[in-house]
Structure 1
Amino acid sequence: MAQLKKIGILSAAKISSAIGLIVGLVYAVLILVAGGAIASLFGPVISKFIGLGIALLVALPALEAIGSFIGVAIIVFLYNVMAARVGGVEIDLKRGKLNRVGPMSLAKIAGVVGVIAGLIVGCIVAVAAAAMAPGSAAIVAIVVVAFTTLFSAIIYFLMGLIGAFVYNALASMIGGLELGITKGELKSIGIASYVKISAALGAIEGVLVGILYFALGSNAQTSVGLPSAVAALGILNVVVFPVLYLVLGAVGAALGGYLYNKLTGSMGGVRLEIG
């Protein structure tokens, strides 16, 4: 299997920013339309809302674009640093199709990300915890940071491991993600393959969420004595959530793939170093 050694920071951040700009504009328009319809029912309020809506049309896309650029740049930078030290994610890429992802290689990278995320969150929580217990601030801070870092590393590691296994199983059954890579640049994403994989992952996630809601509903009915309608709603969730997540996964993948393919024609794709 080949290894994804490096991702172009600027190329990834640039295209993510462009997609964020478009998504932010869509969100702003939807909020403006929905808010305008509600504000129209209150007469004088609508004039104030129009001014707010125009500001939103500018602010939200700008914030999405800036946030996407910075966020992706940081993530890719961290990936490149970790890949250089612990090895990149192993991939089985043949004839433009991603057939398999190395579970341990992905879990390893995810675990390191978990350590970094845990340290950041742990430090923030430790400061707050130490403020509530000033007498033992040092001990509290050490315990909180250590626990948060370890817990985060384990969770991220398991998520990476499970994610790779799930993708590999889906790829073997319905086909992997099709990637148009030319001269080290991701020129296009196969929309149909992206939709299939994303919809399947969404359905699986929906099943898990539905089961969780069902379990919570059943527990609430048993312990608190809530009506049987709560349990019935829990059973309905097991059906509704998989369908909802499947649809959202498919629609999101279709739009994301379409936007990426359109944008790469004018601004180039994400640079990848595979070897």
Structure 2
Amino acid sequence: MNEDGNTDEVTVLIVEDNKELALFIANSLSGPYHVQVAENGKIGYDMARKNPPDLIISDVMMPEMDGIEMCRQIKNNLYTSHVPVIMLSAKALLEDQLQGLQFGADDYISKPFNLDILKAKVHNVIETRRKIRSLFTARADIPQVNQESESLDDKFLSKAYDVLEQSYSNPDFSVEMFSDSMFVSRSLLYKKLKALVDLSPNDFIAIYRLKKARPLILSKEMSVSEVAYSVGFNDPKYFSRVFKKFFKKTPSEYLE
């Protein structure tokens, strides 16, 4: 998604075995979104695993793999766990909706559905995801992660915080060391951080250091150079430039 919130780069995957309905939904969303279609949960999961979309809209009752099982696999795979899922079902019973939500579905729409409601839910889920992704850079401090959450995404982000908390002061801490500490490949680390906080690993490390530097600057107990070195920057001048780029003020201006 673009920084201004435009949706021309947003991919929506529709998983529906009814070809007419799948085409109807695809045509309805193809204006603002890039739309892909899969005819059952197995194909949908394989497509999402190879190229995670920004959102999945899935039927529940399908051959080979139903929507509930696909949703469960999506939410239990680190490559795809961040992808929101909207479930569609002719089953209107509350227990059926609860089952979908318990397996990680982000929303649920009963068939037959109102197209405007579907469009609104798609927009809302994507916007909510965008706001969550921007939270890390939008706040001056480091956002808290729910330590009790069973979500793979929350666990991943919590571990990333733990790794950086132990390593941010080391000027030699690299993306390779970061990925090794996370027990994931560099490519997965990149994809996951882009999906969760919209940052590359290098930018994530740099901004984490800046967030740790801010309270040290405000305390006035250390010089700017001392703060820079303490949070892992080798060059105080470079630290000041990066600090100004992120906080819109130099460290000295921040104290005024």
- Of structures 1 and 2, the one scoring higher in RCO (CA 8 A, sep 6+) is 1
Structure with more helix by fraction: 1
